[in-house]
Structure 1
Amino acid sequence: MSSSSRVPSRRGLLLGVAGAGAGVALGAAGAGQAAEGAGVPPVVLTEQASKRILVLDPAKDVWDPGADPGAVRWAFSPVGDGRYRDLEPEVSWVYPSEAKVRRHRGRTFLLTTASFGFVGVVEWPGGRRYWGTAIGAGDDLFNPHTAEILPDGNVAVACSTGARVRLYAASLGPRATRFTEAELKGAHGLHWDRERRVLWAMGDDELVAFEVAGTAARPRLVRRFADPLPVATPGKSAGGHDLFPVAGRPGRAGRMWVTTSASVFQYEPRGRTFVQDFAGAGEIVRKGVKCVGNDPRTGRVVTTVPEAGLGETWWTTTVSVHRPQGAYKLVGGGIYKARWWLPA
């Protein structure tokens, strides 16, 4: 995403924002249970038009929250929520750019970022703040693009415009500010590899493995090695974008999804290679894919690709589904990323 450098007015930010804080709780069936008996998990979106994270019913092909509020299983916005007031969400919560679901010490968390500075680890379903910060609140100088929580409770943040990966000592408390950082041009993706005990970080042109050294209170990032991303045209930037674990491949067999400006790959850590030997590659591999992820139970894959004629050039109203092909539509939406709700 190339977020605009303009700073919307406070009034403009507040218009259209509904469901502040934890919003609507998921139903009794729970996020991991089969939707309508079909075994499909809910879908979580970064919905930038209404400035919310939405978890939506996978049994509906068309989501229209205005006409059908039941389509929304859960929603989050920090605007108007006193637990996040110090992060100035009226100005920092612009263009939510990530929605990851993670399990940490027996609890489920939403990891979310926004281009104008907001970073939060939000406990589901109540919206309690595990940790949060605002990096350069009110502008896109840093452009937080994704986050990851580590086993010790610390939180890494990739800042694409800021060209850096920061590791915050979030284990010290919900307002902890201490951090270490490492440079990475166009930092977009992060994934903690439990098997190899490295933090993978993806930038414009390379996938880097960082060792986390030091202590939880004073962590350090040590660059271990890097692999160049595949390029469509020699001499051009690969434009690395999304980095996400391939679900259902545990241990040493684990792989990661990788999207670039021109294509979609899986990264094989054992051979340090980028491959396209996965099922459904013929329909999944294409240009401009902003996110990708699979559901190991059904084999279905979700992706998003921008569509023309919307409020921003990186928005879409469509979540593409593969294996078999299909789609979800969000009425009036400005979707950036979509992921299956799969706490991991």
Structure 2
Amino acid sequence: MKRRNLLRALAIGAPLATAGAVGAGIAAADTANFKVMVTEQVQNKVMVFDKNASFSDANRYKSWSPGTGGWSNLSDCRIRDTSQFGAIGLAAASGGKVGIWNITTEKDQELNDVLWSATPGGNPHALERIPNLGAFVSASSDGFLTVYAPTAVSNPSTLAKVQTVSLAGAHGVVWDPQNSLLWASGNKIVQAYSVSGTYRNIRLKASSKKVALSGLGHDLQPDFSNLSLLQVSDSYGVYSINKSTLAKATLHTTTRIKAYVKMKSGEYFYVRGDNTGSRDWGSPTVVFSQSADRTRSGAEFYKARYYTTAYN
């Protein structure tokens, strides 16, 4: 994690494409000073910073602090746009919880801003929203996806578990708006799922689209520079996947990448587990390919995200 050039050697020369629409007026455009959203597990907060400023308390743009217990060791964060609440935050925590919170005008938000939460079990690592249906899907590393569906799309309090889908080592989930598929990363695989039904009849079904990985899949994200690609990390590197052809290209061979995002500009940033301390899966540093790295003393970052409501 200390040497940025470990990951700079194999940049992919994909054509640039326009990123998805930015919702709620809060997500930064893909500019030289975009915002980064991180899960920090020592203070157990989701925090948002301008990427060109130090990741200090004074420079925080937003934060969300759910407390500990089932919310301990926050493992995922992202934001999505809704017609009812505007931008909402999505989070998963290895302590057992997944949930969403309302992103208000407050600078620092807490557990009382939560709109819905659930306890899927099995070390939750990711949560994604299926747009228009109001459903949510969590990934638990003990080996399954959990589907939560509403009776009223605009009312998250009506969400209830409707399906559990086996996926060994489930770590990442991301919605693919171009193909109306949900992609998930697990042990040595990225698998696409079709979505059928409405309200409490919403169901996932494994499609024929799947890609083999060499190790345990970790992060799974869109490529903001190319709508046709996904970015996935596993125990041994980072790869791009063509959503149509399923071709996989190796981008980097650095191990233990826990979060990886590629921007429209071609800049990418990542978190690499540093193998030290009580949280050896985390790191105090977010590494940027074209900018200064950001280190927060005493922190343990696990996920880092582009602060946008866009799916890609």
Aligned-partner Cα distance in 2 for 1:150–1:342: 16
Aligned-partner Cα distance in 2 for 1:76–1:249: 30
Aligned pairs for 1:78-227 within 5 A: 78-79=66-67, 90-105=68-83, 107-125=86-104, 128-136=113-121, 142-151=122-131, 152-161=133-142, 163-170=143-150, 172=152, 173-175=155-157, 176-227=159-210
Partner SS for 1:185: coil
Q: Which amino acid aligns with 2:175?
A: W
How many Å apart are 1:270 and its aligned residue? 1.6
| Relative contact order, higher structure (CA 8 A, sep 6+) | 2
Report the equivalent of 1:8: none
How many Å apart are 1:30 and its aligned residue? 4.8
Aligned-partner Cα distance in 2 for 1:64–1:307: 21
Aligned-partner Cα distance in 2 for 1:64–1:160: 31
Report the equivalent of 2:46: 53
Question: What percent identity do the matched residue pairs reach?
Answer: 24
How many Å apart are 1:131 and its aligned residue? 2.7
How many residues align? The count is 275
Contact 2:162 2:200 (8 Å CA) reproduced = no
* 1:32 corresponds to 2:17: no
Report the equivalent of 1:249: 226
How many Å apart are 1:201 and its aligned residue? 1.2
Aligned-partner Cα distance in 2 for 1:109–1:340: 14
Counterpart selection for 1:76 from 64, 74, 86: 64
How many Å apart are 1:264 and its aligned residue? 0.4
Aligned-partner Cα distance in 1 for 2:186–2:230: 14
User: Is the alpha carbon distance of 1:260 and 1:59 closer, same or farther for their aligned partners in structure 2, counting shifts above 3 Å?
Assistant: same
Aligned-partner Cα distance in 2 for 1:125–1:182: 33
Aligned-partner Cα distance in 1 for 2:26–2:244: 35
Aligned-partner Cα distance in 2 for 1:180–1:31: 32
User: Is the alpha carbon distance of 1:337 and 1:290 closer, same or farther for their aligned partners in structure 2, counting shifts above 3 Å?
Assistant: same
User: Is the alpha carbon distance of 1:224 and 1:183 closer, same or farther for their aligned partners in structure 2, counting shifts above 3 Å?
Assistant: same
How many Å apart are 1:335 and its aligned residue? 0.8
Contact 1:33 1:39 (8 Å CA) reproduced = no
TM-score (normalizing by structure 1):
0.74
Contact 1:99 1:112 (8 Å CA) reproduced = yes
Aligned-partner Cα distance in 1 for 2:72–2:231: 26
Runs of at least 5 residues in structure 2 that lack an aligned partner in the other structure: 1-24
* 1:41 corresponds to 2:38: no
Aligned-partner Cα distance in 1 for 2:163–2:26: 37
Q: Which structure is higher in strand share?
A: 2
Aligned pairs for 1:1-40 within 5 A: 30-32=26-28, 39-40=32-33
Aligned-partner Cα distance in 2 for 1:301–1:226: 26
Runs of at least 5 residues in structure 1 that lack an aligned partner in the other structure: 1-28, 80-89, 137-141, 232-237
Contact 1:148 1:157 (8 Å CA) reproduced = yes
Aligned-partner Cα distance in 2 for 1:295–1:104: 23
Instruction: Point out the more displaced range, 93-102 or 206-215.
Output: 206-215
Counterpart selection for 1:290 from 258, 274, 280: 258
Q: Which amino acid aligns with 1:287?
A: T
Report the equivalent of 1:315: 282
Contact 1:310 1:316 (8 Å CA) reproduced = no
Partner SS for 2:48: strand
Aligned pairs for 1:254-293 within 5 A: 254-276=228-250, 281=251, 284-293=252-261
* 1:330 corresponds to 2:304: no
Aligned-partner Cα distance in 2 for 1:230–1:337: 20
Q: Which amino acid aligns with 2:282?
A: W
